[in-house]
Amino acid sequence: MSPWLDVVLNDDLHLPVSRSIVTIPRFAPQETALEKIENLLEGIIDAISEGRELTIPFRTTRSPQAQQGDEPNCDLVRFPGRTIQEARRFEALFRIIELSHEALLSGNIITKRNIFYQNVDLFKSQGVVDDLVDNLAYTLGLGREDLNIVAAAKGLISGPVDLILRGGDVVHCNLPPGGILLPHIASVEKVDFHEAKWLLVVEKEATFKTLATSQYANNSFAGPGVIVTAKGFPDLATRRFLSVMHSARPHLRLYGLVDFDPHGIAIFRTYKSGSKRLAHEQDTTVPEMRWLGIRSSDVLSASRRDNLDISSGSDSQSSQDVSSQESVAYSHDGSQERHPSKRQKIRDSRDPVEFFLPLTDADRKKAVDLMNDIRSTDVVDGDNLEQLNELQRMLMLNVKAEIQAVDDFGNIASWLDERLCAL
């Protein structure tokens, strides 16, 4: 039976048998990474014993060949080398190899930030550590996490799911109400999805905080769900977490909510298809993710213009029309209870045009680069074609807009309900 479909009983935690609990399998065997790291160390030891120059093979993800999807030539980092800079580069790379070896032997996971702060004089900047770790993994044909080296936690999660860690602790993602930091996916042994029906990835931390604080994941008209953000451009840890979550629950609907601008579309495409620079990283994409918005039609829709006309023509209301809604609360056992919603539907009297901003030169360049990237794909499917059309509209109209363009004075819940229930 596939480990994704394995239904488990955790006796230690006294959890009842439930089809909502899914085991997260371990991925690349650590023996493979450990063997490759020890081969590097053995090569250095042999060179020392034979009096030869010390060398470490090294490829970079930023090379032109890597950017084009080809395997670049393998360079050598040497010691003592021809310059002081090369000797220092060897020392820095060797230190990372040494720390990875220790982490793999002990089973511990270390962060790139810790590596830097423990060796500030050696690395000089965090960026040096980031590049060396990524390039070492690329050279060995591994993912960064296979080295037991990860980035510091960045992503946030909120919703009625529980993450059961390998040490036995349980992370309740519903608490606190403002969301919690995503744990490293390698530390997660099981996930209890309860009744979650969807997972929404939002670009902006501010939007995430609004939804998490209001408990939208519990009160959505589309049923209970999960909300995640990487606070802007997605980091590798958040991307891998989403990929594993979807693999564990393939029928869980995944959506992306980003700004209507070239960078928003780039963020969505990174979640969905990955990035060229880290193309060697495995289990970091979610091809099934659907683009929820925002699109040009969301901020130029006839319905929003109608709202403007109705509001401006009313003598009894100056700017808002508030109506109560009836919502459905979903419990973990799947029962439903109807009750008056604390969430109010507010008719927005603002002109959508006021949310448009002109594209900058950098925006226009990003849009053109994205369009070229889409056209260079083997198959321009419906999703790619839609993104291409939206980018063309941005360029033709010279406009962009943020997610806040579709909220109702800070309340985006009604817009989300409409979109999620329609899909």
CATH number at residue 81: 1.10.10
| Band of residue 71 on the pLDDT scale cut at 50, 70, 90 | low
Tell me whether residue 63 is in a domain.
yes
- The residue from 117, 138, 271, 330 that is catalytic is 117
pTM: 0.78
> Is the C-alpha dihedral spanning 283, 288, 289, 295 positive or negative?
positive
- Which pLDDT belongs to residue 63? 55
139: how many CB neighbours lie within 10 A of its CB? 22
Tell me whether residue 44 is in a domain.
yes
Tell me whether residue 112 is in a domain.
yes
CB 199 within 8 A of CB 254: yes
Tell me whether residue 93 is in a domain.
yes
Over residues 137-165, the pLDDT tens digits come to: 999 988 888 899 988 888 999 999 999 99
Is 117 considered catalytic here? Answer: yes
226: how many CB neighbours lie within 10 A of its CB? 25
Buried b (16+ CB within 10 A) or exposed e, 102-131: ebbeeeeebbbeebbeebeeebeeeebbbe
Cα 138 from Cα 132, distance rounded (Å): 10
Tell me whether residue 247 is in a domain.
no
- Which pLDDT belongs to residue 27? 59
- Which pLDDT belongs to residue 176? 80
Domain housing 38: 30-142
Tell me whether residue 102 is in a domain.
yes
Cα 24 from Cα 13, distance rounded (Å): 16
Tell me whether residue 289 is in a domain.
no
Arithmetic mean of pLDDT over the chain:
81
Tell me whether residue 71 is in a domain.
yes
Q: How many domains does the chain have?
A: 1
